[in-house]
Amino acid sequence: MVMGAGELYSLACTVCWAVAVILFKKSGESLPPFALNFVKNLLCAAALGLTLLALGSWRWPGIAAGPLAVTLISGALGIAVADTLYFKALNAIGAARMGVVGTFYSPSVILLAALFLGERLSLLQLAGVALTLAGIVLVTYTRTADPLDRAVLRKGALLGVVSVAAMAAGVVMVKPVLETEDFLWVVFLRVAAGVGLMVGIVTVRRQWRSLAAVYRGVQHWGAIIAGSLMGSYVALLFWLAGYKYADASIAAVINELAAIFIVGLAAWLLRERVTRRQLAGGALALAGVLVVVLVR
């Protein structure tokens, strides 16, 4: 069985997100998690709005109250909450450990999709999921000579798990809406909901001046803008298109390959060393994804 459109969109998403992560590595050096997530989502919302105008799709598509509410809640949860917690965890425990924590994503989607969408994977596909997760752990896990304080590690790992669970819940929640409503409008509304919640938080906390001060000190605006557009606009469109046209369980497993592409790009562009264990893990993860996608 060949890969369908949904699987190919999910694969394209992993490549785009890997490029964005490399760019975000520079962004994170001068922006705290909330500020980075806020500007990322503002740029994405602007890009999506311009896309709707360019395609002549700016008129309200008539989404009913129920699907609209689900879309907005999904955006607030998956974009404002999940992404901010993800960046906090990334800063706290580092990219390698977050790569391991991130393997919680596809099991979360598979469980939620089984409970709420009625999706089921075969035993052989579940074995493929296990292979993929084992491969990702091999690729991303590294021992360090300067271990984190246990309390910091526990808190960072917990933030990472919560962020991944929120991301999974947000995308499973919106999948039925993606299948029935105007795709670009659903994507735009999700991002707008995330931005709206973050604007509310800044307003209630009266943090506009401090946020502006943070942005004035940024040294890597080029990396921030490029990473935001690649990770929150291009990758987001591919990511949600994958969930629109493929089972959520399968799209989630393909998304795990982002860790492999991140390691490859880091080796190529940042001259980071790739070990034999990482190569073996990459091969194992790829084999697992092929089992999940090609076996029915």
- pLDDT tens digits for range 33-82: 888 889 999 999 999 999 999 999 889 999 999 999 999 999 999 999 99
Could you give the CA distance from residue 170 to residue 79 in angstroms, rounded to a whole number?
8
Q: What is the residue range of 91's domain?
A: 5-53+62-294
- Total domains in the chain come to 1
Q: At what angle do helices 208-216 and 33-54 cross, to 10 degrees?
A: 90
**Alpha carbon 233 to chain centroid distance?**
11
147: DSSP letter: P
Nearest to 178 by CA among 242, 102, 127, 91: 242
pTM above 0.85, yes or no: yes
**Alpha carbon 80 to chain centroid distance?**
12
Could you give the CA distance from residue 10 to residue 242 in angstroms, rounded to a whole number?
5
CB 252 within 8 A of CB 129: no
Could you give the CA distance from residue 267 to residue 279 in angstroms, rounded to a whole number?
12
pLDDT at 209: 94
Average pLDDT, the chain: 87
Q: Per-residue pLDDT for 148 more than 70?
A: no
Name the least confident of 26-30, 44-48, 158-162, 270-274: 26-30
